Amino acid sequence: MLSGGPIEWLIFGLEKVDPKIRLIAELNEKMAYKPWIINKDDITFLVKGNPNWTMHEVIKACIILATYHGISGFCHGMGLIPDFDIVEELLSLMGP
């Protein structure tokens, strides 16, 4: 967002996100909270959905999401907190 990304994603959530990205939101949520319940149906949903993902894209997305969730868990476990100046700038971009 600070580098010029679309602020609408933060304000309006998934309704303003590309439909292809919207499809992977459920897999992302499962990876974050209950990764042990992910099964082949989740991948099939992405590959055969509309718009559909290629298997290559699904694998890349899963690697990115797994890395993000792993690093987030590590940072949380270490007690790290966000820089307040960045948080304040993001809040100012969102407006009232």
For residues 53-61, give the mean pLDDT: 94
Q: Let me know if residue 64 belongs to a domain.
A: yes
Q: Let me know if residue 2 belongs to a domain.
A: no
For residues 30-41, give the mean pLDDT: 93
Q: Are 53 and 61 in contact (CB under 8 A)?
A: yes
Where does the chain have alpha helices with state H?
8-12, 19-23, 25-33, 40-48, 55-78, 84-94
Q: Let me know if residue 76 belongs to a domain.
A: yes
Q: Let me know if residue 72 belongs to a domain.
A: yes
Q: Let me know if residue 7 belongs to a domain.
A: no
Q: Let me know if residue 34 belongs to a domain.
A: yes
Q: Let me know if residue 78 belongs to a domain.
A: yes
Arithmetic mean of pLDDT over the chain:
87
- Domain count along the chain: 1
- Count other C-beta atoms under 10 Å from residue 22's C-beta: 15
- Name the residue range of residue 35's domain: 19-87
Q: Enter the pTM of the model.
A: 0.73
Q: Let me know if residue 12 belongs to a domain.
A: no
